[in-house]
Structures are given as structure tokens and as C-alpha cells.
Amino acid sequence: MRWPGSPYPLGATYDGAGTNFALFSEVAERVELCLFDEDGHETRVRLTEVDGFVWHVYLPRVGPGQCYGYRVYGPHDPAQGLRCNPDKLLLDPYAKAISGELCWHSALFDYDLDGGPDRNDLDSAPYLPKSVVVTPFFDWGDDHPPRQPYDETVIYEAHVRGLTIRHPELPQELRGTYAALGHPTVIEYLQRLGVTAIELMPVHQFIDDHQLVLRGMTNYWGYNTVGFFAPHEAYSSTRGQARQVQEFKWMVRSLHRAGIEVILDVVYNHTAEGNHLGPTLCWRGIDNRAYYRLVDDDPSYYMDYTGTGNSLNARDPHTLQLIMDSLRYWVSEMHVDGFRFDLAATLAREFYDVDRLSAFFDIVQQDPVISQVKLIAEPWDVGPGGYQVGNFPPLWTEWNGQFRDTVRDFWRGQPATLGEFASRITGSSDLYQDDGRRPYASINFVTAHDGFTLADLVSYNDKHNDANGEGNRDGHSDNRSWNCGAEGPTDDAAVNKLRSQQRRNFLTTLFLSQGVPMLSHGDELGRTQRGNNNAYCQDNELSWMDWSLAEKNQDLLDFTRAVAEMRRAHPVFRRRRFFGGRPIRKGDELRDIAWFTPRGTEMTEQDWESGFGRSITVFLNGNGIPDVDRYGRRIRDDSFLLCFNAHDDTMNFTMPSAEYGGEWTVVLDTNTGEVLSCGGGQVTGVIAGGAPATPRSVLAGRALPVNGRSLVLLERTG
């Protein structure tokens, strides 16, 4: 028995009595829904109802766990961008779950792999995973989004499998899964680290690239999507009946109860079908010209702004609908709290150049659901004019690649970086202030999944990617790294001490800069990839978190927790507004920020432009915060000095004149690793690095020795 069903919503929608199936294809001449039983036997149901190019049917008594796919009949003329082929089973673009492994076989391609002109008529069904009907019902209880303000947010970028696969305190059957991320052991670790949001690398269903499989590797990172609505099945601790959906929801609910938001790294710029030589798995066989950007004068080829072979066609209303429906589903049904958009500049390409006011951003702006969650852009792609840091609309925040590059350059001693370094650590107002954005528009990071880990950043001058099997040609060559005197592991005690110090410099700069800090998972433990800066295909111990480092590098973990706590406790390090460089209220004597040379004199234009300066003192006025709290009370904080010394020798830093403070006490020193708790103008305890017999204090106008390549934070105590 079958009923006409409805063209909306798209996908397979179970209502408790049956399932409605709906598929968009403007180019199709005929569509068949293919149902598969447990033995893989196929039953075809021809869809005869079509409304607005949506083919649909309702099947009573068909429910959760039913595997299905589509066959689309229509023109097959690749030269015109038409690639329908009913011999190719197709995944549902709106599938809420996908089950089974992709088995690479010539049947997956719609052309003759031997180079012949004929269409490939081999049936791909035995080799393709299947879409699965899911139940929408889940007991969310009292779940609600934490809605952490950006200025109180600390992001932890993590890989579901890599973070948990080797955790010794997790049950073996849970490691590497959503259930592991929601386990109390992992949640407690994140809380103690000060994390308020976990940003998960791709969890949309993805596949392993053919060329990687041929090399015996996998697409570990997951930037190879085949399902924009489906949680990746391999990250589920149980298989069958689309249990990954329920497990993902349980993970989100568990993290929410701990006050931790869930942000997804999403890949709406391209799909796993690749270029014109890629397989036909879904969109290509449904409506190739609608879903993909094709070359205007030769639509047999794909526009490639991503370096992966294709680019989704965000100009087409149906593709835009797919993206928006996917985003809305993950917020409304899966309760996630935000998205990081991979190669987001691709979505802004209306025609050729990046258009800041493209249709995609207009639609996001007015959407009552998506506009209310955290939206983070990776503001570049590989196409012309693709580097767009600072150019996204006001609703958006951005991975600030300029922060990463400048901070790396400063601490490795590059000349002529002082002025830009000052801009980056104060929120990058040059990038974000003109369009009304706040300092938290800058998502600050020193390392991320793409590139060196923090330990490798201070241990290698060059990438070492031979394990990827690409002759070390892959990955960035401009890493702005410094090995501190030896390439890779060394027994040289002086080199290892400097590396530890440099790690603390980077962590402190990250957490005490204005903006939102993002920590790459494992950097707090000294995780290494042995110089591999592009471990996208390394699903092994090279990329996995080594939890034994928590004991080996306990001092680094304690320091990271301490500097994160320093940020949390003091709003002067996480202002909601940019510095003005002036008193904020009539009658105030001091500006909200001031810059000094190591001699204790205020920076002049000549000092900024010297080109060789590598040391500077920053005064942060705790009474100069132009904000009120949620109760309308003016926010006040302690005042601090940050003394940055990127020179290789110890330098004496003279404290500013008495009007800024009569006495200053060291509360953080990256040379020793000590961090003291402070508040109300006095030191109240030790957070990391051991207790000094007597806190180091220095009077106004007096000098404090600051070791080479180190940072000292002082609180005003008199």
C-alpha cells in the first residue's frame, strides 16, 4: 500500500505510522525509491507524485531501520553537465542516517574506467552504503543550550575518535565514539581545563577517498562528506537501527548538563563525489547542474575553489535550501550550539569573486534558528581572492589566521612584528571594529588540526609528512615555526627547556589576548605528530591523543589550566568592547590601555616603527572596562601589566610611573611556569608551578629582570 505523500519535508520522515519520502530533482524524468531488506534484496517503488520538482510518496508501516536509496532516470550527457544514470543507486541528500561501508568498485562510476565512450551500466547498489529511516523521538529531558557568551567562551577543537581512542579510563567498547565524549571522565577533564565549548571535527557521514584506500589509508579528518544530516556511523559505539543518531543526541545532552556547548565543523563547500572523474554517489546523479558549480564554457568539468575537485553551488535555491535545512536540523533536532564553516569563502561566491553579501549570508541573517547560534567562518578558500579574514558579515566570528601567524612570528623573533602583534592581542580592531563587531569576532588560535601541534611548532623548522605517501609535498611549507636549536626530539636539556618555555609563551598569549581562545586538543599535554603538519590520513597513534602525556607533562597541563583560570577570573582579559586608548569616564585619570618600552617610557611612533623591537609592556586598566554585568552593575577588575620579551637575552623592564600603580607583583612567569591566583590587589594562592617563598614585587619606576623569550604578568598590588 502506498499513499501520495507530501513534497515537504524533503528526506525520509517517520511519523509513527509510516514514512514519507521526498526527493528534489528538476532534471529527472523518472525516480524510483529502492527499499532493501536485511539480506540486501531490493524492492523498487516508482514515485509518480511530483510537485515543484519534488518526487514523493508515503509508505505506511515503513519505519525506523529501513534501508533505502534512489535511482534517477534522466539525461546522461556529461558534456552538458547532465549525469543521470539509473544503474547507480543514490544516497538521499537528506538522509538522517547512513549505514554500511563504501566498497570502491568500478560500478560506482558512471563512465567506462577503461576510457571508452559508453556509459557505465554496472549496478552500484552492492557497493554503496544505504540511507536509513530514523526515529525522530528522543527524551531530551530538561536539556537546554548553555548559550555561553562569546566573551566567556573557551573553545577546544577535538576529533571524536582521536581524543578518546586511547583514554585508559574509558571502557574499551566506548573509545573513539560519541559515547566516549559524553562520558563523565572526558567531561570532567574538559571542565577542569576551563573548556566551555567543544568544536568537533567533521561528524557528518563521510567516506575514505579512493586514492587513500589504494594507499592503505583513510580520511581520518573527515572532510569528505556524503551526508549533511547524518552523524558519522563509525563514531557510534553500537551499530544497526541508526543508533548513531540516538548516541549523538545523548552525547550532546551530557555535555550540555556540564555547561559545555557543542560546535560542529561542517563542510558545505564540497562533497565526496570529487571532480568529473569521481564516483556517482548522490548529488551528481540526482541533479548535477543544481548541486555543483560547473565550468561555464565546459560543464563537463567542475569549478574547484576547495582543492578537492568540486564546489557546491550555493547560488542554486535548492542547494541553498539543502544547506539551510541541514543547519536547522542540527540545531533543532540534534541540539548543537554552533558551526565552524570549513572554507567558508566558497559559500560566499555568487559568481566568481567572493561576495560578502551573498545569498547564503542574507538567508542566515534572517533565519530565526540559525542566526541565534555560534557561527564561525574559516574565512578563506583556495580560489582567487579567497583570503577573506575580517570581511565576513557582523553576525559571524572568524578563525583569525592573522593572529596565528603574527603570534608565531613574534615568539620566534621575527623583526617588524611589534605593531601587528599589539593589534592581534588586543582583538584585531583593524579587522573587526569598522563593521560594528566586537573583539570576540576574532577566534584566536596558534595551532589547529591543520598544521603543527604546539609541541611540533617549537620542535621542527620543516614539515615531515613522508608517512602520508605523497613525497612530503603535501601540507603547508610556510609554518612560521622554530625548532629552538634542534630538529625533532633531542636530549639537549637547554633546547628542551626553551621549548617548554615557548609552549607556555604561546598558551599565555592565546588565553590572555582579547577575543575567543581556541585550543587544539592535546596541546595542553604536549601531543606530537612527529613533525607531520597534515595528518589528514593518519588514523593511528601519530594523530591520536596520548593520554600518558598527562602524567609525563603534568606541569604543562597544570599551567594550561591555570592560565585558563586566570582568563576566567579576570574580565580585563576578555573585554566585550575594543580598547579606546583613553579614559572611559569623565574624571578617570588613566586610559583603558597603555603601551610602554622596556625602559618604562610610553611607546612613540618611532618605537613602533623601529623594526627591531621585540619587547613591550602592556598596561590593562581594570577600572577601564566599559561594560556592565547582567545586573547592570559596572564591571571592575584588577589592573595588570604584561611584559613580553621575545629577545633571546634577559632584559630589565622598568615599571611605569606611580600613577599607573605604586607596586606590582608577579603572578605569572612563563620562564618558571609559576601562576599565582590573585584578586583585589593581592596574591591569594598558587595555581601552578609551585609556591614561591615570597612573591616577587617591584615598585613603580624600578626594574624587573624578564628572562629571554618569556612573558611575565604582574598584578597591581599597591
**Residues labelled catalytic:** 342, 378
Contact 219, 193 (CB under 8 A): no
Taking a C-beta distance cutoff of 8 angstroms, is the pair 596, 656 a contact? yes
Euclidean distance between CA atoms 246 and 140, whole angstroms: 10
Cross-strand bridge partners of residue 652: 705
Cβ burial 573-582 (10 Å sphere, 16+ → b, else e)? bbbbbbbeee
Give dist(CA 357, CA 613) in Å, integer: 40
Which residues on neighbouring strands pair with residue 262, listed in sequence order? 198
Distance CA 358, CA 160 (A): 33
How many Å apart are CA 132 and CA 209, to the nearest integer?
Answer: 22
Distances (CA, A) of 114 to 83, 237, 567, 667: 18, 40, 61, 69
| Pairwise CA distance, residues 68 & 687, whole Å | 56
Q: How far is CA 155 from the centre of its chain?
A: 9
Residues contacting 157, CB < 8 A, separation 6+? 199, 201, 265, 445, 448, 449, 518, 519, 520, 521
Give the integer Cα–Cα distance in Å for 303 and 295. 5
Q: Would you tell me how many other CB atoms lie within 10 Å of the CB of residue 497?
A: 12
Measured distance CA(516)–CA(499) in Å, rounded: 25
CA contacts within 13 A on the Cβ side of 507: 35
Q: How many CB atoms lie within 10 A of CB 371?
A: 12
Query: What is the C-alpha to C-alpha distance for residues 146 and 138, in angstroms, rounded to an integer?
Result: 19
Tell me how far apart the alpha carbons of residues 169 and 287 are, in angstroms, rounded to a whole number: 48
- Residue 521, amino acid: H
Rounded CA separation 13/9 (Å): 7
Q: What is the DSSP letter of 108?
A: G
Place of cell 579512493: 210
Lookup: cell for 243? 543508533
**Angstrom distance (rounded) from CA 288 to CA 284:** 4
Chain Cα centroid distance, residue 392: 16
502 membership: H or E segment, kind and range: helix 493-512
Distance CA 268, CA 697 (A): 53
What grid cell was written down for 453? Answer: 601541534
For helices 493-512 and 554-569, what crossing angle results, to 10°?
20
Q: For residue 61, give the amino acid letter.
A: R
Query: How far is residue 273's CA from residue 244's CA, in Å, rounded to a whole number?
Result: 23
- Using CA atoms, how far apart are residues 72 and 30, in angstroms rounded to an integer? 6
